[in-house]
Structures are given as C-alpha cells and as structure tokens.
Amino acid sequence: MGLVFRGAAEAGLGAASAADRPGPPDAVPNPTPTPPAEGADPGSSRGPGMVLKAFFPTCCASADSGLLVGRWVPEQSSAVVLAVVHFPFIPVQVKELLAQVQQASQVGVTVLGTWCHRRQELEESLGHFLEGLGAIFSHKPWFQLCRERGSKSWSCKATHWRGPASPAASGEDQVMLIFYDQRKVLLSQLHPPMALPDRQAGDTTASAGGLAAVFDTVARSEALFQSDRFNEGPVRLSHWQSEGMEASILVELAKWAAGPVCLFLACLLSLISAASSCRVFKLWPLSFIWSKLSTCEQLRHRLEQLTLIFSTRKAKNPAQLMRKANMLVSVLLDVALGLTLLSWLHRKDLIGQLADALIPVADHVAEELQHLLQWLMGAPAGLKMNRALDQVLGRFFLYHIHLWISYIHLMSPFIERILWHVGLSACLGLTVALSILSDIIALLTFHIYCFYVYGARLYCLKIHGLSSLWRLFRGKKWNVLRQRVDSCSYDLDQLFIGTLLFTILVFLLPTTALYYLVFTLLRLLVVAVQGLIHLLVDLINSLPLYSLGLRLCRPYRLAAGVKFRVLEHETGRPLRLLMQINPLPYSRVVHTYRLPTCGCHPKHSWGSLCRKLFFGELIYPWRQRGNKQD
Amino acid sequence: MEDEQSFSDICGGRLALQRRFYSPSCLEFCLSCPRITLRSLTAVTCSVWLAAYGLFTLCENSMILSAAIFITLLGLLGYLHFVKIDHETLLIIDSLGIQMTSSYASGKESTTFIEMGQVNDVVINEAIYMQKVIYYLCILLKDPMEPHGISQVVPLFQSAKPRLDCLIEVYRSCQDILAHQKATSTSP
C-alpha cells in the first residue's frame, strides 16, 4: 500500500505546499443529507432515521481539508473527532501513527472520515477521491464533513459501505454536529451527580456513560496531541495544540525543583515525627497532658498534612492531587494569617499589655466568684438553703479560690516571658495560635472546671441515692442481674432507715441542686467559648481553598455536567450544537473536596445532653482522639 | 420555525410559550414568567421606607434611614439575582438528552442536562400545593439497579407553574420525540 496521494492531490486539490492551500477550482455536487425516514437501506442493520452524533473540536473548524481521526463509540452512535490529518499523507504512515497512539493511550483511535474545507462547490473527481479514501481506511460508518470557506453552512453525511459489489446501495444516516472546546474538555474533570442517600455511590457511574465517554476519550488521547505543526514528522495533524505546546517556564522550573525540595522536606518531617514519637513522651503524666491539650492535636494534624504534601509518591488520581493542593494552600494561608497576627501583636506591643492585664483579670474573676459564693451562702434568689450544708460547701469552694489566686500570683513574674514565647508560635499558623488561646482559657478556668466536677459528683450521688431509696419507699428493688426493677419485701428496720435517709436527702436536694446548677452554667459558658474557637480552627483546617479558587478562576476544570446551545440552523442543513461545560456549584465543591479535620465534634444530641445534665453525669464536650469514653 | 402562544399559570398570571422547532429531533420550549411590576416594586419600597421612617422618629438616629436604603438596594439585587426567574427553557434533543435552563432576571442562567439514557419517561403528575391540587410536568429517571424502576422524579417549569393546557402541548411534543427515540434505540 505504498500509494502516494500527492499526484491525486495535485490533480484535484492542487498545491502540495504546507503554507498555501487554495481550494479546488471545480465544483462537485454537494449531496444534501437525505431525509431521515427514507434514508435507510431496507437491508441495513440500522433502524430508520437513526441520528449519528459527531463531536467536532472547534479548533478544527478552520483547518484545511484532510482526514478525520478519532474514536467511534458504537453504544452511543457517536464519533469523537480528535484531530485532522492534512494532505498530503501516506496511508501507511497514518496507520502507523494511529497504531502508536492506540498503544500509548489505550484508546481506539481510527480514521473516521474526511473533512473538506473549500471555497465553493467540489468537483466530481474530488468527491470520488474522497470516497475512494473510504475504501482504504475502511470504517463503518464513513463520515464526510464539508464546510464552505467563509460561511456558516456545513454539510455532513455518513455512509455505510456495503462493499464494492453494491456501492450504490449504501445507506445514509442523519448526522448531528456537536462542537466542543478540546482544551477545556481535556482539562476538565467530570463529577457524577450525588448519589441518593439510600444508594451506593458506585451505581451512578454506570449510568453516566454517554458524555463521560467523550470526556474520557479526549483526556486519554494526550499522545495524539504531542505533535504540532512545527514538527518535521511524516504526518501533519491539526488539533488544539497544533499551534505549539503551551507551557510556562515557572511551572517547569517548579516541577524540576520540586523533586529535591520534597525529598529534603520529607526527611526533615520524618525526623520531627520520629522525635515526637519517642518513648519519653509516652510516659504517663506527659501522655495525659498531650492528649488533653488541643494545641498538640492541631500540631499533630498539621504534621500529618505536611508529611502527606511533601511525600515523594506521586498522587494516584485527581482527587488525591486536589487534596494535596488544598492542604498546601490551607497551610500557606494559615501561616500567612499567623504572621499577620504576629506582626500586629508586636507592632502595638499587645503582648506586654496582655501580660499586664492578665493578673488583674484573673483577680477580678476570682473576686466575682467569691461574691457569687457569698450570695449562694446567704439566701440566693429568696430561696431558703440548708444552713449547715450551705456553709460547708461555700467554705470548701472559697478555700479553693484562695488557693487558685495564690498560684496565679506565684506565676505573675513569668507571665510575660511565657506569653511572648507563646506569641512566637503564631508563626506556625493561626490555627496553632487559636488552639493555644483555647488551652490558656482552659487552664485559667481550671477552678471552674473543678467546681463543676465537685458539684456534679455530689449531685449525681444524691440523685442515685434518691432514686434507690424511692424504689425502697415503693417496695421495689433494682435487680442487677436482670437489669430491671423487681418487687422486694423489706424488713421494718430497713424500711425505717431507708425512709429517714430518703427524707434527709430530699430536704438537702435544693442546696446541692443550686450549687450544681450555678457551676454547670459557668462551665457551659467556658465550653461555649472554647467551642467557638474550635469551630474557627476547624473551618480553617477543612475549607478547600484551592478547589474554590479553581472554581472561581478556571470553572471548566470542575464540571458538573454539560450544557448545549443550538447554533444557527438552516433547513436542509444538519443540526449544529455547541457543547459547553456546566461548572460545579460552590456548595458541591466544598462538599466534595472538604479536608478531614481532627474529628473532635460533640456527638451528643440535645436530648442526651439534657438527660446527662439532669442526672448529673459529667459531660465531656469533645472526645479526644480515640481513647475517651463517656 | 417559531411560534408563540399565550397561556396562564395557576395563579392567573399570563405566560408566553415560545416553541422553536429546529428539526424533527430537536425541539425547544421557552416559557416566560410574568414580569416584576412597577406597582409591587413601589409598594415594597414604600412600606420599607415608611417602617424605617417610623423607627427614625422613635430613635432619632439617622443611621436607620441609610440602613433602610442599603437594605432595599441589596434586597432588590438579591431578589433579581437569586429568586426572580425570567424564563424557563426546555430543550429536547433526540438521542442526546433533555436540558432545562432557568434564566434569572439579572441574567444568570442555571442549567441541568439529563442524558437520554437516564430518562424513563415524561409524564404529567398531580400534586397538592398549599390548598390546591395542580398538574405539573416531570421527567422520570431510570433506576440503574431495576430495569423498569424509577429512581427520581425531576419536576419541570417549577417557577412558571403553567396550567394543564400548556402542559399538554409540551407533553405531546416530548412524547413524539421520546417515542421516536425509543423506536430507533430498540432496533438491533
């Protein structure tokens, strides 16, 4: 098959030069597409009026005449045109190139038909020549697209060869032209619609076949787009990159430098994580403290993220790449905000002012607590308390406050130094600074936490005692074996003592309940403040900023689907549509690309929270990683 | 070819249905909702400003008046961009799919495209809406697991809410195309 078509090209098309390609002077009757109902050959395997779809790249609409190269998807009856091979060419070389591309990309790239971009009507010989090409690159169906230069009238027909025996009995089908922007479709990533709650996510991908096949074909055919028109290869192609591959020096330099930098940082990070997981830190007091401080959680989280970003393994799929990019941008933003905070603190010398104000504030809080206790020890809100119990509890808590104030005054010379060093940690990130703030609040209100625990335990004991004695009052008992309430006959002494104790507990209940209520409210206030700070930290941690930026600046990269627009239509001409990319809405971007956070969210519902409060069980507002049980 | 007909929606407002016939396999319906009227706009603006002026006479703070102007402007912009739909378009392309576009008054367009492989049928359904029973046109989507099951119902023309006569027009044309599509796809 060593035919060279240069001779025929000179005869019919003229001009073998690459630059100038004048249109053929003669005319060929342009066969209009046959109407759908009668177009089918009764013996053909296709049904009547079958509409074939041809996806045509917009960059090839002004290309010179040649062969259409792409992939035929029989299930969708659609042809995806990837490039145009220009005259002159040698069929053997074209087939070799296609075989190479097919092997490199696993996409069934073949010659689909001919493309003709002419000045006026084609001559008869060219028409036969184009049909003769169909015999060499046999493909069913064989497309013949035509466009008049300078006008918007297109024509296309698709024929089925019945073989040389009956060439006249070839059936024709109607073709619908769908234009697509090749570069955008190549770069975009299709997101299947969200699965319904009761279905698996994997089922929806099976039904999203049609257009996903087009995207897939274009994305995997990168090997075809490597050669541009400045290449000295045997075959000349026209596609979106045929004007030259686009690249940026900065991006290339960054890619080249990324290797060693990643390696260096990965070693550094592995050293740090090895140091932090050494045995010294696992001893009991230290491990307990580390698990309580949210700063350590945050630092550990950031260390994990940095290890993932700078790991030397390449990302396996686009989702992992997005995740890495999101983490990197999140870390960078965090550090930038932290440095801004640091510069603001140092400019106004706020650290000194904060240190000076801290002790008086702590004193003030303690004084307010003392006033509160004095109020409780009197007649709070007009209620009459049990005097003896009141005095005992009040004095007990007052002594604690006194101890706490002494500790604070002991620490006062060192506060400024500590705060200055803590302020330096803001250069690790705003999230770290906020976590430290949350921990400082927790440490400063430690006495409130202690009071809450004392009050809650006392109240809890009282409630349990009351419920058990109430059962005795009614003649029932809790059966531990059967986990239920059973009736029981008590002796008279048991009943007598039980009733006495019950009465005592009932009359002491208001006092204990009031102390419990006051300290629980204080504790909940502190927890609410800490919760807000944690919410802010979680927001900074989990927001996918890179994906949002991509959606803002390059909306075609994240595609929810496609949309079609019907272009100018004349009767008798084929239907032309423009396929554009429908970008993903912002809410779905955030939902799909959210980064995982520490996971320290309260898992209670409001009902269980109220139940715990009523029975005096201790509430831990957030679980620490893994090991805490309520 | 294009033709335009006038219908009414469930509240009695005037709707205009524009039908464009591109080819036997491609059809577009454009339903225009009643526009925002000067009367309603004036009424809302006057009531907001009267309320603001009343507050101002109580509080003697001129920030209230500027805040009222600000709120009115932002509210109008938000309403035009997020709430008020100007026209809704339905484009059916045989063997490709069905596309619904809602165009807002500020020019924003939101489009959904459903591939023909996922479409089971297009039907007119009844629904209870506040105190009325209304008809609406909807697309039934196929269930990937069950061959004849329905996985989702997608209602069409939700903000225009046309009456049954308009729906029947659209329904007939859709059924023509779907029947043609089913005939050509079931042939071997």
| Residue type at A291 in one-letter notation | S
Of B95, B112, B145, the CB nearest to A53: B95
Q: B170 and B157, same structural domain?
A: yes
pLDDT score of A86: 83
CA–CA separation, A581 vs A551, rounded Å? 12
CB contact under 8 A, B115 and A53: no
Is A561 an 8 Å CB contact of chain B?
Answer: yes
Using an 8 Å CB-CB cutoff, list chain B residues near A582. Answer: 111-113
What three-state secondary structure class fits B118?
helix
Q: Which of B66, B82, B98 is the last residue of a domain?
A: B82
In angstroms, the separation between the Cα of residue B100 and the nearest Cα of chain A is 9
CA–CA separation, A497 vs A91, rounded Å? 108
Contact between residue B153 and residue B143 where contact means Cβ atoms under 8 Å apart:
no
Please compute, for residue A393, the number of CA atoms within 13 A of its CA located in the half-sphere on the CB side. 28
pLDDT score of A624: 47
Look at residues A185, A131, A180 and name the one whose alpha carbon lies nearest to residue A159.
Answer: A131
CB contact under 8 A, B23 and A575: yes
Residue A199 phi/psi, 5-degree rounding, is: -120, 160
CB contact under 8 A, B184 and A50: yes
pLDDT score of A46: 47
CA–CA separation, A458 vs A389, rounded Å? 12
CB contact under 8 A, A575 and B184: no
Is B82 an 8 Å CB contact of chain A?
Answer: no
CB contact under 8 A, A207 and B180: no
Q: B132 and B104, same structural domain?
A: yes
Mean pLDDT of B166-171: 93
Residue A68 phi/psi, 5-degree rounding, is: -90, 130
B4: enclosing H helix or E strand:
strand B2-8
Of B96, B111, B145, the CB nearest to A53: B96
Cβ neighbours of residue A501 under 8 Å, at least 6 residues apart?
Answer: A465, A469
Is B22 an 8 Å CB contact of chain A?
Answer: yes
Total-model pTM: 0.80
pLDDT score of A194: 67
Q: B148 and B117, same structural domain?
A: yes
pLDDT score of A123: 64
- Residue B141's closest chain A neighbor by CA? A207
What three-state secondary structure class fits A313?
coil
Please compute, for residue A417, the number of CA atoms within 13 A of its CA located in the half-sphere on the CB side. 4
* ipTM value for the complex: 0.87
Q: B100 and B71, same structural domain?
A: no
CB contact under 8 A, B117 and A207: yes
Using an 8 Å CB-CB cutoff, list chain A residues near B96. Answer: 53, 176, 178, 564, 577
Q: Which residues pair with B103 in a beta bridge?
A: B87, B109
CA–CA separation, B56 vs B65, rounded Å? 7
Q: Compute CA distances A158 → A20, A121, A137, A142, whole Å.
A: 29, 19, 14, 5
Q: B65 and B47, same structural domain?
A: yes
In angstroms, the separation between the Cα of residue B73 and the nearest Cα of chain A is 25
Quickly count: other Cβ atoms within 10 Å of residue B40's Cβ: 9
Using an 8 Å CB-CB cutoff, list chain B residues near A566. Answer: 20, 22, 26, 28, 91
Interface test with B, best of A154, A190, A191, A563 (most B CBs within 10 A): A563
Look at residues A621, A292, A625, A294 and name the one whose alpha carbon lies nearest to residue A435.
Answer: A294
Please state the separation of Cα A375 from the chain's center in Å. 54
Of B94, B99, B117, the CB nearest to A209: B117
User: In three state form, how does the secondary structure of A529-542 look?
Assistant: HHHHHHHHHHHHHH
Q: Compute CA distances A288 → A282, A432, B37, whole Å.
A: 9, 20, 68
Cβ neighbours of residue A261 under 8 Å, at least 6 residues apart?
Answer: A310
Q: Compute CA distances A197 → A319, A410, A596, A613, whole Å.
A: 22, 58, 21, 34
Q: B14 and B60, same structural domain?
A: no
Q: Which residues pair with A72 in a beta bridge?
A: A79
Contact between residue B105 and residue B86 where contact means Cβ atoms under 8 Å apart:
yes
Using an 8 Å CB-CB cutoff, list chain B residues near A203. Answer: 144-145
Q: B56 and B23, same structural domain?
A: no
Domain count, chain B: 2
CA–CA separation, A221 vs A241, rounded Å? 12
Q: How many residues does chain A have?
A: 630
Domain that residue B69 falls in = 38-82
Of B142, B180, B188, the CB nearest to A45: B188
In angstroms, the separation between the Cα of residue A47 and the nearest Cα of chain B is 6
C-alpha angle B123-B129-B133 in degrees, rounded to nearest 5:
65
Q: Compute CA distances A206 → A188, A211, A396, B143, whole Å.
A: 19, 12, 69, 11
What three-state secondary structure class fits A162?
coil
Label residue B135 by pLDDT band (50, 70, 90): very high
Cβ neighbours of residue A11 under 8 Å, at least 6 residues apart?
Answer: A125
Q: B42 and B32, same structural domain?
A: no
What tokens does A208 get?
Answer: 């999203």
C-alpha angle A387-A390-A394 in degrees, rounded to nearest 5:
140
Q: B110 and B67, same structural domain?
A: no
What tokens does A615 get?
Answer: 């029975």
Contact between residue A229 and residue A236 where contact means Cβ atoms under 8 Å apart:
yes
Is A250 an 8 Å CB contact of chain B?
Answer: no
What tokens does A344 get?
Answer: 């603001």
pLDDT score of B173: 92
Q: B20 and B72, same structural domain?
A: no
Is B187 an 8 Å CB contact of chain A?
Answer: yes
Is B184 an 8 Å CB contact of chain A?
Answer: yes
Chain B contacts in chain A segment 175-234 (CB below 8 A): 176, 178, 196, 199, 203-204, 206-211
Contact between residue A187 and residue A556 where contact means Cβ atoms under 8 Å apart:
yes
CA–CA separation, A306 vs A331, rounded Å? 8
Q: Which of B82, B115, B137 is the last residue of a domain?
A: B82
- Averages of pLDDT over runs of 10 residues in chain A (630 residues) are 42 39 39 37 47 88 85 87 84 86 86 80 67 74 82 77 48 82 89 62 49 86 78 76 80 88 88 81 76 83 85 81 90 92 84 81 86 84 82 88 87 81 83 89 86 91 91 86 86 90 90 89 91 91 93 92 89 88 92 80 76 83 45
CB contact under 8 A, A563 and B99: yes
Q: Which of B82, B112, B144 is the last residue of a domain?
A: B82
In angstroms, the separation between the Cα of residue B20 and the nearest Cα of chain A is 11
* Omega cis (within 30) before B24: no
Of B151, B152, B183, the CB nearest to A47: B183
pLDDT score of A73: 87
| Residue type at A36 in one-letter notation | P
Q: B14 and B90, same structural domain?
A: yes
- Residue A49's closest chain B neighbor by CA? B184
Q: B177 and B138, same structural domain?
A: yes
CB contact under 8 A, B144 and A566: no
Is B5 an 8 Å CB contact of chain A?
Answer: no
Is B153 an 8 Å CB contact of chain A?
Answer: no
Q: Is A253 exposed, middle or buried (0-12, 13-18, 19+ CB in 10 A)?
A: exposed
pLDDT digits 0-9 by tens, B8-67 = 988 888 999 999 988 888 899 999 998 889 999 999 999 999 999 999 999 888 888 999
CA–CA separation, A611 vs A61, rounded Å? 71
CA–CA separation, B88 vs B99, rounded Å? 11
**Residue found by looking up tokens 């000179």 in the block:** A10
Residue B174 phi/psi, 5-degree rounding, is: -60, -40
- Residue B151's closest chain A neighbor by CA? A196
Interface test with A, best of B93, B110, B141, B176 (most A CBs within 10 A): B93
